[in-house]
Structure 1
Amino acid sequence: MRKLSLLDKILTEIDQSLRVVHATAPTTERPNPSEGVQATAPLSDTERELISRLMRINHTGEVSAQGLYRGQALTAQREDIREQMERSAMEENDHLNWTDKRLRELGGRKSLLNPLFYWGSFTIGAVAGKIGDKWSLGFVKETEDQVIKHLEEHINQLPAHALADMAILQKMKADEMHHGDVAMQAGGAKLPFLARKLLMPLMSKVMTKSTYYV
């Protein structure tokens, strides 16, 4: 197999970004957890609007996750870490498509900021991977912890009869926990205090607050 040149890799990443932001990204074999799940009561217009905004946030979170994992895979030093990142990215693609499908069902729209968050996350991931695999893996763990926090907040905001949305977010939460645990088991290092308590929460808040409206 021909070794990819730097130009090949750049073109591959541009193609991947376009798939994530504007098309349907490749997924795993896993089914959509909302399939066959029916709400116990119709959603009101207010409830549909709330859920649509929450799903937009989660969709953008998955766009960011794609950028992060792709950037980390690009600069990972160990082949097993690269493969792990690529598998996690595929599972995040499942989340991406589940939330996209639900957004369309609700009559909502994706965030206009998705390209910005993709390439911002890609850059962060590539830098983290370049610094070293243990820090890159630690970054995955902390990122997933932040995602889990806002998923829990969204689950608590859902109407009790929004069973399809609940099924999607609960499965996403389980996957994020798994990805974080796998990263630490592979040799991830705990990030410094300031990164964990200030930088990561701030980044998460910027993403959630902006995409709620835009």
Structure 2
Amino acid sequence: MDRQHSRSDRMIHQFDTFLRTLIPRAASAQRSNPAEKVADGPLDDQERRLSSGLMRISHTSEVCVQALYQGQSVTGSLDQPYKQREQSALEKIDHLAWCDERLAQLQSRTSYLNPLFYVASFGIGAATGAVSERIGLGTIAATQEQVAKQLEVQQTSLPAGDHRSRAILRKIAVDDAHHAQLALEAGGVRFPAPVKWGMRFAAKVMSKSVYHL
């Protein structure tokens, strides 16, 4: 029988997830890194900087989605959608750990702007979760769809020799597309095109800002 989570349980879990999301190297993956047995080709300094910027964008994208999950878990219900969000959020920790590890291999770092984006996304998650479960799940689905599309573009933008980053992004894209589908199947609203265009614009602003910072 599943243990019921109280509000205090959720707050403790929130704080733990907050630390694992924002403190560099604090996230620990439960699944094997998809790049574990992948060998890179040669990368010069310029290619390494390109890969670092793209992986930093991917890491921040995962921070934002994790914050959405956590914001909605505060204001949403304790029923099956909560359990689904909790499982997807655990997989997000894997994504964060993989990106963080890859950035370290590239002799780079995560974005200085992550706390800002976490707070903003947490607020959006809490607000949409408070409006309704369907709106909250729809926000997750639409965001995950945007991130998955962004990851596909980033894979083609990586240097030809950066096989490890590409393997990580490929797996994250598959997971994110699956998370989006789960949110829709749980009753999430399909947002109209204008809303998705606005989300796409916000994603572009985020990407440009964290590429260097």
TM-score, length of structure 1 as denominator length: 0.91
Q: Following superposition of structure 1 onto structure 2, how do residues 138-177 of structure 1 map, counting pairs within 5 Å?
A: 138-177=138-177
8 Å CA contact retained: 1:141, 1:181? yes
Distance, in Å, in 2 between the alignment partners of 1:3 and 1:166 is: 37
Q: Residue type matched to 1:137 in 2?
A: L
Distance, in Å, in 2 between the alignment partners of 1:12 and 1:194 is: 35
Correspondence for 2:115: 115
Residue ranges of structure 2 left out of the alignment (5+ in a row) = none
Q: Residue type matched to 1:211 in 2?
A: V
Distance, in Å, in 2 between the alignment partners of 1:91 and 1:3 is: 19
Shift of 1:194: 3.0
Distance, in Å, in 2 between the alignment partners of 1:61 and 1:135 is: 20
Correspondence for 1:208: 207
Cα deviation 1:68-110 (Å, max 9, x = unaligned):
1111122222510001001100111111000000000000111
Task: After superposing the two structures, state which structure 1 stretch, 121-130 or 74-83, moved more.
Answer: 74-83
2:32 counterpart SS class: coil
Cα deviation 1:101-125 (Å, max 9, x = unaligned):
0000000111101111111111111
Is 2:135 the counterpart of 1:135? yes
Correspondence for 2:181: 181
Shift of 1:16: 2.6
Distance, in Å, in 2 between the alignment partners of 1:37 and 1:3 is: 40
Shift of 1:35: 0.4
Distance, in Å, in 2 between the alignment partners of 1:12 and 1:85 is: 13
Cα distance 1:54–1:73, how it changes in 2: closer, same or farther (>3 A)? same
8 Å CA contact retained: 2:10, 2:73? no
Shift of 1:162: 1.4
Correspondence for 2:38: 37
1:73 counterpart SS class: helix
Cα distance 1:69–1:42, how it changes in 2: closer, same or farther (>3 A)? same
8 Å CA contact retained: 1:37, 1:164? yes
Shift of 1:14: 3.5
Distance, in Å, in 2 between the alignment partners of 1:57 and 1:168 is: 13
Correspondence for 2:194: 194
Q: Following superposition of structure 1 onto structure 2, how do residues 9-28 of structure 1 map, counting pairs within 5 Å?
A: 9-10=10-11, 12-22=13-23, 23-28=25-30
TM-score, length of structure 2 as denominator length: 0.91
**Cα RMSD over matched residues?**
1.9
Correspondence for 1:101: 101
Correspondence for 1:80: 80
8 Å CA contact retained: 1:73, 1:81? no
Residue ranges of structure 1 left out of the alignment (5+ in a row) = none
Shift of 1:2: 9.4
Distance, in Å, in 1 between the alignment partners of 2:28 and 2:101 is: 14
Shift of 1:63: 1.1
Q: Residue type matched to 2:43 in 1?
A: L
Cα distance 1:171–1:9, how it changes in 2: closer, same or farther (>3 A)? closer
8 Å CA contact retained: 2:29, 2:98? no
Task: After superposing the two structures, state which structure 1 stretch, 99-108 or 157-166, moved more.
Answer: 157-166
8 Å CA contact retained: 2:22, 2:115? yes
Is 2:47 the counterpart of 1:47? yes
> Could you tell me the percent identity over the aligned residues?
42
1:77 counterpart SS class: coil
Dislocated runs of 4+, deviation >6 Å = none
Q: How many residues align?
A: 210
Q: Residue type matched to 2:200 in 1?
A: P
Shift of 1:158: 1.2
8 Å CA contact retained: 1:73, 1:83? no
Shift of 1:165: 1.0
